[in-house]
Amino acid sequence: MKALLYDGELKLSSKPCPKPRPGEALIRVSLAGICNTDLEITKGYMGFQGVLGHEFVGVVEEAEEEGWLGKRVVGEINCYCGECPLCQRGLFTHCPERTTLGIWGRDGAFAEYFTLPLANLHPVPEEVPDEEAVFVEPLAAALEILEQIEVKPKDKVLVLGDGKLGLLVAQVLALQDCDLLVVGHHAHKLEILNRLSIATHLSQGPLERSFDIVVDCTGTPEGFTQALELLRPRGTLVLKSTYHGETKVDLSRLVIDEITLVGSRCGPFIPALELLRKGLVDVTSLITATLPLDEGVGAFQLAEKGEILKVLLRP
């Protein structure tokens, strides 16, 4: 099969089709999405080498349980042991033995085929087309914020970043009827939110330090600094950014202002599928281009450009 492989260099490669282990499915990829984490891996993030890709929709080709055969699916990316103390507490995404699809210890979805445990799979409702289903993983990550903190209608909430994740986070938070503002660098990206009646602000203009909650989706070290500058004392800072490198942090500022700091990562797939089924979020406006897997290297180069949103790969 063909696969987009990173081994210190990103390249289209030919490799044997994987064999599913007991309890796993072989999935034929229909669409896969390039996300910022994929881009950061090619800069050294996580030290991962292998087939990239963790946002996908596909069809089950092989499985021990025949009921899965031919089903259109999406899948959670953390593959856990199920036996350790954290798994026993239900904290599967923090299993110390986990592998993570296309990120750590497991080949990903930028290929014609890949494998994933059946326990990770979710059937896609008929009403949700592939072009929407491929967004389930990042939409679930946006929903994770609501699993971690309470967002009340009167809260002043700021989302920093107008990239793919920032636009999804903004749409999820807008459903909470809070006093929401989204700050970004690109007018054409913010216009997607303006069409949904979500307030936006180009980052060149000044803002007051008045927000109860700030969600950093910038994917840059500078985003953390900006978030602290705009968060009121005893406010909550939610970090959604992952990137290669380190951030200098003034910990005294966190103590003096009594800031609550929340790291936020993977989230619930079933509510994400339901939002798409009900048409409550707009994801297709985020698609900039869909390219064949054969053009995967060029697709990554396109996705690196600041004005670009989601680039999809179709094997």
CATH number, residue 248: 3.40.50.720
Please report the pLDDT score of residue 246 as a whole number: 79
Cα dist from 2 to 11, 24, 28, 118, 312, whole Å: 10, 21, 12, 23, 16
25 and 94 inside one domain: yes
Same domain, 125 and 21: yes
Tell me if 277 is assigned to some domain: no
Is residue 240, in this structure, part of any structural domain at all?
Answer: yes
Q: Is residue 272 part of a domain?
A: no
**Model confidence pLDDT, tens digit, residues 57-106:** 999 999 999 999 999 999 999 999 999 999 999 999 999 999 999 999 99
Q: Which residues contact 170 (CB under 8 A, 6 or more apart)?
A: 159, 180, 182, 193, 198
Position 68 in a domain: yes
Q: To the nearest whole number, what is the mean pLDDT of the chain?
A: 95
Task: Clarify whether residues 101 and 174 are in a common domain.
Answer: no
Q: pLDDT band at residue 281, thresholds of 50, 70 and 90?
A: very high
Per-residue pLDDT reduced to its tens digit, 168-223: 999 999 999 999 999 999 999 999 999 999 999 998 778 999 999 999 999 888 88
Same structural domain for residues 155 and 88?
no
Q: Give pLDDT tens digits for 135-151.
A: 999 999 999 999 999 99
- Contact 172/142 with Cβ under 8 angstroms? yes
Does 233 score more than 90 pLDDT? Answer: yes
For residue 194, being part of any structural domain is answered with: yes
CA atoms within 13 A on the CB side of 69: 6
pLDDT of residue 188: 95
Residue 270 lies in a domain: no
Q: Specify the pLDDT at position 203.
A: 83
**Is residue 80 domain-shared with residue 99, that is, in the same domain?**
yes
Are residues 8 and 111 located together in one domain of the fold?
yes
160 plus 114 within the same structural domain:
no
Which domain range does residue 180 map to?
A: 141-263
Looking at residue 56, its pLDDT comes to 98
Task: Report yes or no on 278 lying in a domain.
Answer: no
Q: What was the pLDDT predicted at 249?
A: 82
Give a yes or no: residue 268 inside a domain: no
pLDDT of residue 10: 97
Residues 62 and 182 occupy one common structural domain = no
Give the total number of structural domains in the chain. 2
